[in-house]
Amino acid sequence: MNQKILKSGFYLPEIGLGTGGDPSKAVGYEERKKALQIALDMGYRHIDCAATYSNGGVEKFVGEAIKRIDRSELILSTKVSPLNLAYDDLIESVQLSLGRLGASYVDLLYIHAPNMDIPLSETMRAMDTVIDNGMAKHLAVSNFNVDLLIKAQSFTKNKIVANQIEYNLATREKSHCEGCDSMESKIIPFCQENDILVVAYRPVDRGSILEPNQLLDTLSKKYGKTRAQIALNWLISQDNIVTIPRSDAFAHLRENLDASGWYLDKADVELLRREYPLREIKSYRYY
């Protein structure tokens, strides 16, 4: 699995595994735990979760599934809800997450989304405490625009290593997140220029990208890859970008993992950027 590495040496595998997403997918925890175990056996080593996913239920089954893996090989990420960004709430939220995960630390701790009602300086002070206490190794943010990212960095002595944002072929410019800058002209270049990883969430647009499309089909034939692999590879062919597709299906887990290890030609990355149809932004939004 190829990785994207920062100057500090911090890295993320190009393809990780999402565990949040569509609440209408009624798959039980046991089934999801089994899928996660299969994913770990296949070689997934970056698992992305969050305190809010099924009210902590996802962290619980992730904690059970990762017991079989050498912890030093795993990049375990979780997120603090935007409702818990006051100092004491954030510390308590991380303690609860670690309890559910059965872990003494996470590798990456995200602020799940900004909350304008709580001073960012207070939140970042709490994030520093979490690092000082050894509960997290690295700090990250999610759904942050450039202004907020600059502010967040100015309030912490620790480097913010990643910004997790919605980014896929069909959602290239504007995202669902409130107040988010345009992605390709602002937040992504900012991260690339400032040695920050972009973790692209919803990378197959929850399946919509896998519908027939002439350009995608032409490229699938050219590279001998599936539509999903072209869509995922389009993300990771770009500097500093990794991604975290979610899947509970064996065949999709394998297919997504095999989207790494090769790259689209630069000209095809740009062709898709120019010509793949943008999807109209719907109003759904949940973390």
Binding site for ligand NAP (CB under 6 A): 18-22, 25, 48, 112-113, 142-143, 164, 201-207, 210, 228, 244-249, 252, 255-256, 287
Rounded least distance, CB 226 to ligand NAP, Å:
7
Of 157 and 286, the one with the shorter C-beta distance to ligand NAP is 286
State residue 140 phi and psi, 5-degree precision: -150, 165
DSSP 244: -
Distance from C-alpha of 225 to C-alpha of 135, rounded to nearest angstrom: 40
How many residues are recorded in the chain? Answer: 287
Rounded least distance, CB 232 to ligand NAP, Å:
8
Of 31 and 270, the one with the shorter C-beta distance to ligand NAP is 31
Long-range contacts of 184-191, Cβ-Cβ distance < 8 Å, separation of 24 or more = 184/273, 186/145, 186/146, 187/144, 187/145, 187/146, 187/149, 187/163, 188/238, 188/241, 190/146, 190/149, 191/149, 191/163, 191/240
Of 116 and 133, the one with the shorter C-beta distance to ligand NAP is 116
Residue nearest to ligand NAP (CB): 18
Rounded least distance, CB 68 to ligand NAP, Å:
21
Rounded least distance, CB 245 to ligand NAP, Å:
4
Of 59 and 255, the one with the shorter C-beta distance to ligand NAP is 255
Bridge partners of residue 243, in order along the sequence? 15, 200
Rounded least distance, CB 98 to ligand NAP, Å:
18
Of 21 and 63, the one with the shorter C-beta distance to ligand NAP is 21
Tokens of 73: 């090989």
Of 103 and 198, the one with the shorter C-beta distance to ligand NAP is 198
- Closest to 163 in 3D by CA, of 182, 190, 184: 190
Torsional sign, CA 86, 136, 165, 194: positive
Distance from C-alpha of 159 to C-alpha of 8, rounded to nearest angstrom: 9
